[in-house]
Amino acid sequence: MSAAGAHTMRHDARALSPRAPVIETMKGKRVFDDGAHRVELYEFSNPHCAEMIIAWLPKEKILFEADMLDITYPDHVGQGGEDTAALLEKIQEIGLAVERIVPVHGQLGTIEHLRRAVLRDKANK
């Protein structure tokens, strides 16, 4: 189904109130807040990818990220790389009080896991 496609068997909200698809981009920061939940998106460049977005849920103190912290099985933190260090720097620069990190790949982590990965990288250089 394309973005302009329609649900014919079971109508969803878009089928009941059709409108043209909207594609949005962002630079810097974007906030979504419905009064009960807040999600902050931050864009930044790092050695892994020229354009990366992280999602921050301040109420839950959860950071969602992709490919910058690798935990292959619970509590096993590998050596970080330049991208891992860039993530920690970005968190500190923005001033986020991160407790949990949810990666696209791998296991859930904490800010302490991220710090350990960065320290392992520095120790091995």
Domain that holds residue 57: 24-123
% of the chain at pLDDT higher than 70:
94
Measured CA to CA, the distance from residue 125 to residue 120 in angstroms comes to 9
Task: Report how many domains make up the chain.
Answer: 1
Residue 114 within any structural domain of the chain: yes
- Average pLDDT value for residue range 65-70: 89
Query: Do 67 and 80 form a contact (C-beta atoms < 8 A)?
Result: no
pLDDT band at 12 (very low <50, low <70, confident <90, very high): confident
Residue 94 within any structural domain of the chain: yes
Residue 14 within any structural domain of the chain: no
- The pLDDT score that the predictor gives to residue 101 is 96
Residue 79 within any structural domain of the chain: yes
Residue 3 within any structural domain of the chain: no
Collapsing DSSP to helix, strand or coil, 45 comes out as strand
Residue 115 has pLDDT above 90, yes or no: yes
Strands across the sheet with 49-57, in order? 29-33, 38-46, 49-57, 62-65, 100-103, 109-110
Residue 19 within any structural domain of the chain: no
Nearest one of 46, 30, 42 to 80, comparing CA atoms = 46
pLDDT band at 5 (very low <50, low <70, confident <90, very high): low
Residue 107 has pLDDT above 70, yes or no: yes
Give this prediction's pTM. Answer: 0.79
Higher pLDDT, 67 or 61: 61
Measured CA to CA, the distance from residue 84 to residue 47 in angstroms comes to 9
% of the chain at pLDDT higher than 90:
50
- Average pLDDT value for residue range 31-52: 91
CATH number of the domain at 63, please: 3.60.15.10
pLDDT band at 113 (very low <50, low <70, confident <90, very high): very high
Measured CA to CA, the distance from residue 105 to residue 23 in angstroms comes to 26
